[in-house]
Amino acid sequence: MMSRKLIDESREGYLDNENSPFLISNYGYGKDSVKVMHVVRNGLVHTIKEFEVGTKLKLRSQKDYLEGDNSDIVATDSQKNTVYLLARKHGLKSPEEFGILLCHHFLSKYSHVEEVSIHIEEYPWSRMGFGTGPYKDLHNHAFVFTPTAIRYTDVTQKRTEIKPTVISGLTDLRVLKTTQSAFVNFVNDEYRSLPDQHDRIFSTVVRSSWQYSTVTGVDFDYCWNKVKQCILNNFAGETEKGIFSPSVQNTLYLAEKQVLETIPEISSIDMTMPNKHYFTFDFSKFPKVVNEVELKEETVYVPVDKPAGIIYAQLDRKSDQYVKSKL
């Protein structure tokens, strides 16, 4: 989630003409938004996976930029074709596994490729279900788009590295609870106008990314679903009474802490929770229209999404603090 430094003072990979006052400090090229769907027809029961893939290659030479020499370029159209060919040959399982496969292919196929970066988003298709309760029938070949959260991964590998770096994440996980949230006892000075809120609506749109310390034997689907479950558990709590949140900061930290406690393959996790405010409407100005006493169990809120507070934190294992710059 952190922005790349605009100036790289180390100037690694500097290949410009020694007499030039300029240098190419960062470069690469690739194909964005390659949409691919893989369908498995196992008798009457069919399964699907749909990804949107972006590929980026960094070559050893910069002669394509400096001299207009295209002899080392693996065309972006060829990169697009590679996505479809590897999907047909190996299938689509998790975004992480396909990203690792693409990195290995480009590095092993083209000796002049120095670094590969793959970005993949998975489209959230779920099998249609009919009936009610846990015994509802799942359809054999019909699916519904269920964008509760968007799953993505970024897989990068340099030729000098023995294993890829895998950072996965989720975005657009919008949640809301109508009680068990407060915000009180914050700085009280001449700039403050917000009163203490002992019982408020808590709503946010969660974005999170996490880095794996290993890619061997990892069930990436399980890990992604477990991270999502940890976020929801610490936001909502048990079904009847829920869980109290004294601040967005505390809820965010508890979710990240549970992720690291339950998924040993994850070395670091980053999370952002912007406030989505719901302010009570002042009905005291309309006593002839609305009787607040009679409607004490009901109220109306005004949704306000801008401006919004933004809360974020990254939690690392103490032995893995070196990963901070990669999230």
pLDDT of residue 291: 76
Q: Is 207 annotated as a binding residue?
A: no
Query: Closest Cα partner for 144 from 159, 154, 129?
Result: 129
Provide the CATH number for the domain formed by 168-326 in this structure.
Answer: 3.10.270.10
DSSP codes, 185-228: S---STT--PPPBSS--EEEEEEEEEEES--SS--HHHHHHHHH
Least confident of 107-121, 233-247, 250-264, 307-321: 307-321
CA 259, distance to chain mean position in Å, is 15
The residues carrying an active-site annotation are 31, 76, 277
- Residue 292 amino acid letter: E
pLDDT of residue 13: 46
pLDDT of residue 206: 98
pLDDT of residue 17: 61
Mean pLDDT of the region 3-25: 59
Q: Is 172 annotated as a binding residue?
A: no
Summarised one tens digit per residue, pLDDT across range 68-99 is 999 999 999 999 999 999 999 999 999 999 99
Summarised one tens digit per residue, pLDDT across range 46-76 is 999 999 999 999 999 999 999 999 999 999 9
pLDDT-derived band of residue 299, with 50, 70 and 90 as boundaries? confident
**Residue 296 exposure: Cα atoms within 13 Å on the Cβ side:** 2
What's the whole-number average pLDDT of the chain? 91
pLDDT-derived band of residue 11, with 50, 70 and 90 as boundaries? very low
**Which residues make Cβ contacts (< 8 Å) with residue 119, sequence separation at least 6?**
53, 54, 56, 99, 152, 153, 154
* 168-326 has the same fold as 25-161: yes
**Which phi and psi angles does 16 have, rounded to 5°?**
-75, 165
Rounded Cα gap, residues 129 and 131, in angstroms: 7
pTM, full prediction: 0.90
Q: Is 248 annotated as a binding residue?
A: yes
> Does the pLDDT at position 6 exceed 60?
no
Mean pLDDT of the region 24-37: 96
DSSP reduced 3-state for 235: helix
Q: Is 76 annotated as a binding residue?
A: yes
Summarised one tens digit per residue, pLDDT across range 165-214 is 999 999 999 999 999 999 999 999 999 999 999 999 999 999 999 999 99
Domain coordinates in residue numbering, the chain: 25-161, 168-326
pLDDT of residue 7: 46
Q: Homologous superfamily of 25-161 in CATH?
A: Urate Oxidase; (3.10.270.10)
Of residues 104 and 132, more confidently modeled: 104
pLDDT-derived band of residue 20, with 50, 70 and 90 as boundaries? confident
pLDDT of residue 321: 54
Q: Is 275 annotated as a binding residue?
A: yes
Mean pLDDT of the region 221-226: 98
Q: Is 51 annotated as a binding residue?
A: no
Mean pLDDT of the region 264-284: 94
